[in-house]
Structure 1
Amino acid sequence: MDIEYQILNLYKTKQLEKCLKLCEVALQEKDDRMIEFIRMRAMTIHSKIVGNGYEEVEYYPQQDELVSTAVAKTPRPGTSFQRDTKTARNLESSYQKRATATVRSRAGTNTAGARSLRTALHTASRMSRAATALAGGAPFTPGAPLSLRFLSKDDKLFTPASKTLFEYVYYVEGDVRKAMEVAFQAQKSDDTSDWWWNFSLARCYSALGMHRHTEDCLRQALKQNKHISIYLRLIAMYVGLNQPISALEVCKQGLSVFHEYTPLLIEQARINDQMGNAALAVKEYRMVALEDPSNMEAIANIAMFNFYNDQPEIALRYYRRLLATNPVGPEIYNNLGLCCLYCNQWDLTLPCFRQALYFSADPEIRSNIWFNLAHVALSTGDVTLAYRCLQVSLAIDSKNEASQHALQALDARLRARKSNAT
């Protein structure tokens, strides 16, 4: 079998590491433009996979103190995320309702909390992505020959080769400024206006923190082509700049082109949820669930909304659906146990918490589960058992503030009982 056919077959079947090794062997024997091109593509795809490059939009980039695009400290009401959102969770003032705060999933099992959304969407920077790609075992050579050098501008392969070169420099080498130079040169040589280059320049400007240039490039790309990636990156840029009204406007524009498209609907729901419009966010999450019945985030948020609006029976149905359609985890079983507790299904409450403890490996999650078990014990009137559960919770995670406050309250109650008894 010819080595060229083996390389092409490995590339098509996504066996990237074997493909790269075989390309190294082939290029040592002779210089082949096709093999160099496949090698660049394989290295780029490998870097994307290792560094999570396919989901690279940073919704909440780290703000530098010296950045000129910092948001105002006193924004107008309803135009910023930086305020206390009045959600169903913090409207509950009683201790018992606070005690039922469910364990948040870092994998997105119940992403109603704003912080869990941020950690789920936040990805590594470009430089760290290139570093992790190299750590993954990709054979990286800084002075690798580039196919674009051997192509004339009249060649039909010039444009795809320039795109491959841009992604190679952007993802593998992690050199954003060099990638911008490639994009500028390709734009000068390309007679037809291609939206992809404006979109790629926007990615580079976004990585450098030049948000105004990013917006200009994305708007120019939108004039050339109404592509879903452009809308999503515009939304992410406005959310990162703390401009939710502009982000919602982009969502509406995108939905006018892509009717009831799930990614745009879920972005709109997230923004409304963070702005404190819980009812409107749940309405949009329901639309997402109708379009995509297996969407974990939408179902979890609907369940959370129903639970904190004193409808545990409805929330139980949604959590049972999550349990049936997604991998099991401690968060789902913990929330199922709390729903069963408020539905007075005592025969299922403790088994659900037992399964939650079985699947939990994170100390923080285990501590929260024991805290909820203390609430179950208080519901049955067993103060001693609740006291022991809180002690176990603090033994696992001593920084659990809810367990600390609850233990202090139980200590005060037990002392009051002893003083009254004497």
Structure 2
Amino acid sequence: MEIDYKILNLYKTKQYDKCLNLCATALQNKSDRMLEFIQMRAMTIQAKVAGNGYEEVEYFPKQDDLVTTAVAKTPRAGTAFQREVKTAQQLNKRTSGTATSRGVSTSRAPSTRAALHTASRLSRAATALAGGAPFTASTPLSLRFLTKEDTLFVPAAKTLFEYVYYCEGDIRKAMDIAFQAQKSTEIIDWWWNFSLARCYSALGMHRNTEDCLRQALKQNKHISIYLRLVAMYVGLNQPLSALEVCKQGLSIFHEYTPLLLEQARIHDEMGNPALAVKEYRMVALEDPSNMEAIASIAMYNFYNDQPEIALRYYRRLLATNNPGPEIFNNLGLCCLYCNQWDLILPCFRQALYFSANAETRSDIWFNLSHVALSTGDMALARRCLQVSLATNSENEASKNALCALNAQLRVRR
């Protein structure tokens, strides 16, 4: 009993690695369904944490031309997302100067939503489901093969489903567990319809996904159902339907931050920055440390000739989040357009210090060339652009700027 107590204590205190090691040791000598159940739960929780705590909405899904659920190529105006990516030639000097959290200049960013994403969205690892690779270490066996006649099937069904869905990545086997669990009990549980919707969504069966989510919504008004419906409509390029779902959710979950965020992102992708910023301000009021909302508001003010206000928001980001090259880069640009010359170079120096990849450093040197041009030093601007290209030879904005600058210097000679 001592080892069973240790395993249970490790699981309760969320020491999952030690718990799994101890479970593997204990199950070598005996077969214990309780230990296998704890082992399954620990493995599932680890897979969910490594993959995705809150299931994000994918705004640019990969679609196959042969899929029957593909959206029209030319939808009616105002009913679809703007998926056109602007090039450096289409943007003015100020627009092409702000670096984003992905290490690219805004000339390649599709919208202001790319201003500064949350750290979780950038550092999230791929789930076992996405990779399709099952767990190989100490995979529980006896619980996996429970029959529906077994008395333990219904109590362990949810754990079995999540283990197969997250750890093994077998969608069809997970769906079979869900169907058998629904048949084995007379109690109507919205969770099973929601879980089936996740499976259908992973298989690209959007009509079945919507039917299951609508049934789950009739049984229980849960926030996860609303978020999954929003994700489905966004994937189908139906932003108006997604906005309607957001409004329905907000009528029940008043001022709920994830729904407000999705609403703001949808407005942003549809090309309504004013409405998007209004939603982002509501998010910032509910969650003052939300990085995405604050960064989007700052970027909106920056592009609307209010760098002083944008500077205040970027300073707040610096105070509430870990320092990074994007924040210091944007601070330097705001100082440049606010004519705070004593702070420009220190901000860019810190940006270069924190930059970890070549693409980010190249964009920072590109922005430094604008600082040199604003002082009239064309030779220094040319050197900054050369350093930018030496750091990353694929930086199109630096190539175009260097060609234009060389042509202007030849004319002057």
Specify the alignment match of 2:93 in structure 1.
Answer: 96
- State the distance in 1 between where 2:190 and 2:258 align: 21
CA distance in 2, matches of 1:84, 1:66: 22
Query: What is the aligned partner in structure 2 of residue 65 from structure 1?
Result: 65
Given candidates 146, 170, 175, the residue that maps to 2:165 is 170
Q: Percent identical across equivalent pairs?
A: 69
Residues 1:145 and 2:142 aligned together? yes
* Counterpart residue number, 1:9: 9
Q: Distance in 1 between matches of 2:403 and 2:296?
A: 32
- For residues 332 and 272 of structure 1, do their structure 2 counterparts lie closer, same or farther at Cα, with a shift above 3 Å needed? same
Could you say which residue in structure 2 is the equivalent of 1:211? 206
- Structure 1 gap segments, 5+ residues each: none
In structure 2, stretches of 5+ residues that fail to align are none
SS at match of 1:411: helix
In the TM superposition, residue 150 of structure 1 has moved relative to its aligned partner by 7.6
CA contact (8 A) 1:99 1:375 kept: no
Query: What secondary structure does 1:73 align onto?
Result: coil
For the pair 1:305 / 2:300, whether they are aligned, the reply is yes
**2:249 alignment partner in structure 1:** 254
Residues 1:330 and 2:346 are matched in the alignment: no
Q: In 2, distance between residues paired with 1:401 and 1:92?
A: 10
The 5 A counterparts of 1:125-204 are 127-129=129-131, 131=133, 134=135, 139-141=137-139, 144-146=141-143, 149=146, 155=151, 158-204=153-199
Which residue pairs with 2:230 in the alignment? 235
Is the alpha carbon distance of 1:107 and 1:181 closer, same or farther for their aligned partners in structure 2, counting shifts above 3 Å?
farther
**1:127 Cα deviation after fit:** 3.6
Shift in Å at residue 106 of structure 1?
A: 2.9
Change (3 A) 1:43 1:15: same
Residue 40 of structure 2 corresponds to 40
The change in CA–CA distance for 1:84 and 1:253 in structure 2 (over 3 A counts) is same
> Which residue of structure 2 lines up, in the alignment, with residue 384 of structure 1?
379
> Cα gap change, 1:234/1:38 in structure 2, threshold over 3 Å: closer, same or farther?
same
Inter-partner Cα distance in structure 2 for 1:92 and 1:258: 44
Matches within 5 A, 1:316-395: 316-395=311-390
Q: Is the 8 A contact 1:129 1:171 kept in 2?
A: no
* 2:277 pairs with 1:279: no
Q: Following the alignment from structure 2 to structure 1, what is the Cα–Cα distance between the partners of residues 154 and 87?
A: 54
Q: Which amino acid in structure 2 is aligned with residue 276 of structure 1? A: G
1:54 aligns with 2:53: yes
In structure 1, distance between residues paired with 2:349 and 2:12: 46
- Tell me if the contact between 2:103 and 2:363 (Cα under 8 Å) persists in the aligned partners: no
Pairs aligned (count): 405
Aligned residue for 2:93, secondary structure, equals helix
Structure 1 residue corresponding to 2:101, chosen from 94, 102, 105: 105
Q: Distance in 2 between matches of 1:228 and 1:123?
A: 24
Instruction: Pick from 385, 399, 408 the counterpart of residue 404 of structure 1.
Output: 399
TM-superposed CA distance for 1:25, in Å, is 2.1
- Alpha-carbon distance between aligned partners in 1 of 2:351 and 2:268, rounded to the nearest angstrom: 27
Shift of 1:17: 1.9
Deviation of 1:30 after TM superposition, in Å, equals 2.4
Partner of 1:21: 21
Question: Residues 278, 312 of structure 1: CA spacing in aligned structure 2 closer, same or farther, 3 A cutoff?
Answer: same
**Equivalent position SS for 1:310:** coil
Mapped partners of 1:150, 1:74: distance in 2: 50
The two structures have a TM-score, normalised by structure 2, of 0.91
Supply the distance in 2 between the matched residues of 1:147 and 1:158 (Cα, whole angstroms): 10
Supply the distance in 1 between the matched residues of 2:362 and 2:2 (Cα, whole angstroms).
Answer: 59
Distance in 2 (CA, whole Å) between partners of 1:187 and 1:254 is: 26
Which digits, 9 at most, give the CA deviation of each residue in 1:323-356, with x for residues without a partner?
0000000000000000000100000001000000
Give distance in 2, aligned partners of 1:368 and 1:303. Answer: 19
Seen in structure 2, the aligned counterparts of structure 1 residues 180 and 94 have a Cα distance that, compared at 3 Å, is: closer
SS of corresponding position for 2:94: helix
CA deviations over 1:28-83 (Å, ceiling 9, x no partner): 32222211211111121122233x14244452432122210010011000011145
Residue 35 of structure 2 aligns with an amino acid whose one-letter code is I
1:94 shift after superposition: 6.8
